[in-house]
Every structure is written in C-alpha cells, then in structure tokens.
Amino acid sequence: MSEDLGNSLQSEGIMATLQVLGGKWKPIILYILLNEGTKRFGELRRMIPTITQGMLTNQLRELERDGMIIRRVYQEIPPKVEYYVSEHGRTLNDVLGEMCGWGFQHIEHTKKVEEHDQLSKP
C-alpha cells in the first residue's frame, strides 16, 4: 500500500462522503431532520444547544449547497424559514443509522477498557 490513499481511487467514495458529512454538526443536523422531520432554525438551535448561531447557519448553508437539505422560505411577516431533508439527503439515512449504532458500541467498548484499566491498577 505504497500509494497515497488521499489520492487513490479506492478512497474517493469515503472522501466524497466526508466532504458532505465532515465536521461535528452536519451529521447531527441531518439525523435530527431525518428522524424529527421539518424544523425551523430556532427549533434546531434549541435541539443542539451547544452549537452557536453562526455555526448552525454555516452548516445549514453547506448542507443546502451540497443538496442534502432544502430551505423553504415563506413570504410572510415575520419571515418563516424551514429546513427539511432532500430526496438525495434521505439516502444518508442508513449511513447515519450505522454511525449511531457504531457510536453506542464504541461507548460500551470504551467503558469496558476503562473498567479493565481500573482493575489492573495496583
């Protein structure tokens, strides 16, 4: 495996996926929209209390640019904007579900390692 995987055809799929899902917040935003349905900005902000307003705005713009979500603007006062997952974005449902499942398995693994380490200490 002397070939640079960053430039390998074998890694193009994972790189494309990470380009869309990369970062801390995009998977969470998509997971919420996939499982909870259409949300307004303020609702997302309350559901992810540790994200800043600016970061949420940027992440939503990037997800919209990449075709994962759709931003619907209602012409009313006060302005109303909703976000929902596009058909293409829905194709990530299984990927995000697998990531969630793996995360729970990893949490359990980490607990077992920590317990083993505690028992091994004199």
Q: Which residues contact 37 (CB under 8 A, 6 or more apart)?
A: 84
Q: pLDDT tens digits for 16-45? A: 888 888 889 999 999 999 999 999 999 999
pLDDT band of residue 122 (cuts 50, 70, 90) is: low
- CATH code at position 62: 1.10.10.10
Q: pLDDT tens digits for 62-101? A: 999 999 999 999 998 888 999 999 999 999 999 999 999 9
Neighbours of 2 (CB within 10 A): 3
pLDDT at 102 over 90: yes
What is the pTM (predicted TM-score) of this model? 0.82
Residue 28: both structure tokens together? 């969470």
- How far from chain centre, in Å, is Cα 69? 12
Q: What type of residue is 1? A: M
Domain span at residue 81?
Answer: 5-120
How many domains are contained in the chain? 1
